Amino acid sequence: MTSSTSTTKRKSLLIRCALAACATLLILWMLFPAEQYDQLKEAVKQMPSETNDVADQLPPPPPIEQDKDVQPTNPKLTSSHCTQPHPGKPLIQYALMIDAGSSGSRIHVYRFNYCKADPELEDEVFVPIKPGLSTYKNDPMAAAKSLDQLLEVALKTVPKELHHCTPIAVKATAGLRAIGPEKADDILKAVQNHLEHDYPFPIVKKDGVVVMEGRDEGVYAWITVNYLLGNLKGSRHETAAIFDLGGGSTQIVFEPKYLDTDRMAEGEHKYQLNFAGQSYDLYQHSYLGYGLNYARDTIKEEMVNAWDQHSSVQHPCLFKNYTETFKRKDESEVTLVGTGAGHTQCRGVVEKMMNKNAKCALSPCSFNGVYQPSLQDTFASHDLFAFSYFYDITQPLGMPTEFSVGSVREMAENICAENFSGIEHHPGAVEAVHANPNYCLELTYLHELLRSGYGIPDERMVKTAQKINDVETGWSLGASIAVLDEAQLCLIK
């Protein structure tokens, strides 16, 4: 073959290759948008050679955008006061306290932080229900299950990861004492069994489900009030006295101040408390049977006994022409008829119950022969806090949250006389009196308890509150703080 022929064939092959390449480019151009085609060409240009590291040539991955709604931690497990707990303590600790009172049960779900060595309360969830455990005195299991509504509140409030280390206690008061030790014990055993088998919260080892001693009830209430007032923090502060009026009992607790030569008499009334590095010598007494509900029934019973009639009895503490069927202790019934006689005659009936003439074995005495240091001599100028029924009876009538003892007497005088001119301006006050035919009796009892019973003069001011700093008064917080000293805290690693 000649050289010219070979050259012609090579040219022909090159032309065919060129045409094929053009056709390929045309097809690619038609199939891909111009932008992607340019990207393809650029990618081809940047393809690494055999000697280059592929990883070095790849672009970095795009950043992963975080979901702004996702929180790094459960807010129930964090504190607004600090980010790190005191060494050896959890940042957040919950505690559950069920107050099983005479008229109903209540749960307190407390949330504490341990920013410092001692627990600091951050929040409380409080839910009450009626009736009380004593209503089920013949059905212990029903009594236990009556608390389920409260325990559901605990399950929802406490983070699930802390259920196993959130201590719970159920402390019953005067209402359960009154049904007798055998029936009370049956109810407490049923409650404990229900908690152990059906709920995750550990029961406090010492006195976890008990009928609380009256002395503890009063002292825990004293701790609650003074803790919330800030009197128990840091250096020594003056403390407030507390007067708690429940349905079945009433308590008084205060820290008497003596001259150097005087001291409080020794006895069961003396309570030595160590709290947050300070020592307190407290006077305390709990009067079982002098709670508002029990006192009301006792006053009516004594009036019936004095008349010695079996059908109907007139009562000066009830509004005129009001009638009530009253069941006596022996289960017999009698009709009480209100005379509307007024405060003076009602006061005479109430005074008999106070038993001021009882023998006083250790002087000075308050009422019913009970030793009590004089508030005038040993606690003349410090705050007096009265709560529970003291609050529930006075506040619907529009009385201020700080009032003189004498103003309670004045209110009782007006209400017993059905003179509503002083309360008409307060919304719902007149309606509250009409809804409670015992208002005359109850106000008279409140005044006699403060004045004649505890020995507080009429001119002395008393503060009342349902809450202090949005936390319920009463003994539950004080008892919960004591529980934390013995509980296994939620140390999460």
Q: Which among 449, 454, 291, 261 is positioned nearest to 373, based on CA atoms?
A: 454
Q: Is 208 annotated as a binding residue?
A: no
Q: Is 175 annotated as a binding residue?
A: no
Q: Which residues contact 44 (CB under 8 A, 6 or more apart)?
A: none
Q: Is 247 annotated as a binding residue?
A: yes
217 is catalytic: yes
State the Cα–Cα distance between residues 377 and 373, nearest whole angstrom. 8
Q: Is 406 annotated as a binding residue?
A: no
Question: Can the peptide bond before residue 364 be classed as cis, meaning omega within 30 degrees of 0?
Answer: yes
State the Cα–Cα distance between residues 450 and 464, nearest whole angstrom. 13
Q: Is 453 annotated as a binding residue?
A: no
Catalytic option among 124, 217, 413, 472: 217
Which residues define the annotated binding site for ATP?
247-251
Active site residues: 217
